Amino acid sequence: MLNIVLFGPPGAGKGTQSEKLIEKYGLLHISTGDLFRKHLGEGTELGKLAKSYMDNGNLVPDQVVIDMVDDRLKEVGEVKGIIFDGFPRTVAQAEALDTLMNGKNTPISGMIALEVEDEELRTRILERGKSSGRADDQSIEKINNRINVYKEETLPVADFYEKQGKFVSINGVGTIDGIFGDICAAIEQL
């Protein structure tokens, strides 16, 4: 199985590139942000719990996220592989994901990190906010908080995969197809 962690700050293009990867490699997409937004939309208890964290751009507590991913993985049948998008976002989540995937004998193949400068991220997220309807895309304070949370809590996850020899960095600025080409070249090397 080809199991990829697509990594990068908010606004790096993970969602856009995931769509193209799903199409090319026939992978299943697991985005924790999308799963939380679905719960939010359906008004579930989990959605209510996650809402204040999400609205302010803070991370939902690890165990809540891990349990949600565990439940989602239990539903997965025969697949060619999985793209994890927006997960893991802490080292504790990365450790839990390794335990879950190794337990299924389908380890993570590699992490692909999209690198984009902060100023470009702010511009992209504000632009997306015009149509996304996402509360966390609307204000510069919330966007800055998400970027800070990424640097403080999420960046160490890159080291976690680097130590396993599974980390690949890609320049996330350029044309969508150009970046996609670089990602595909990296995948062929995994």
**Residues designated as active site:** 14, 89, 128, 134, 146
Vertex 34, ends 81 and 91: CA angle to 5°? 70
Estimate to the nearest angstrom the gap between the alpha carbon of 122 and the chain centroid.
18
Report whether 46 contacts 64 (CB < 8 A).
yes
Q: Does 89 bind ligand AMP (CB under 6 A)?
A: yes
* Tokens encoding 103: 């337990």
Stretch that binds ligand AMP, among 19-27, 56-64, 116-124, 170-178 (CB under 6 A): 56-64
Q: Minimum distance between the CB of residue 33 and ligand AMP, rounded to whole angstroms?
A: 2
**Under a CB-based contact definition with an 8 Å cutoff, are residues 101 and 109 in contact?**
no
User: Is 87 among the residues that bind ligand AMP (CB under 6 A)?
Assistant: yes
CA–CA dist 190, 180 (Å, integer)? 15
Of 70 and 181, CB closest to ligand AMP: 70
32: contact with ligand AMP by CB under 6 A: yes
Binding mask 1-20 for ligand AMP (x = CB under 6 A): ---------x----------
Closer by beta carbon to ligand AMP, 63 or else 181: 63
What is the rounded distance in angstroms from the CA atom of residue 169 to the CA atom of residue 55? 29
Contacts of 165 (CB under 8 A, 6+ apart): none
Rounded CA-CA distance 190/188 in Å is: 6
**Binding positions for ligand AMP, 122-151, rule CB under 6 A:** 136, 146
167 lies in the binding site for ligand AMP (CB under 6 A): no
Assess 101 for contact with ligand AMP (CB under 6 A). Answer: no
Contacts for 48 with CB less than 8 Å, ≥ 6 apart: none
Give 17 or 32: the residue with its C-beta nearer to ligand AMP. Answer: 32
Contacts to ligand AMP by CB under 6 A:
10, 32-33, 36, 53-54, 57-60, 65, 86-87, 89, 93, 136, 146
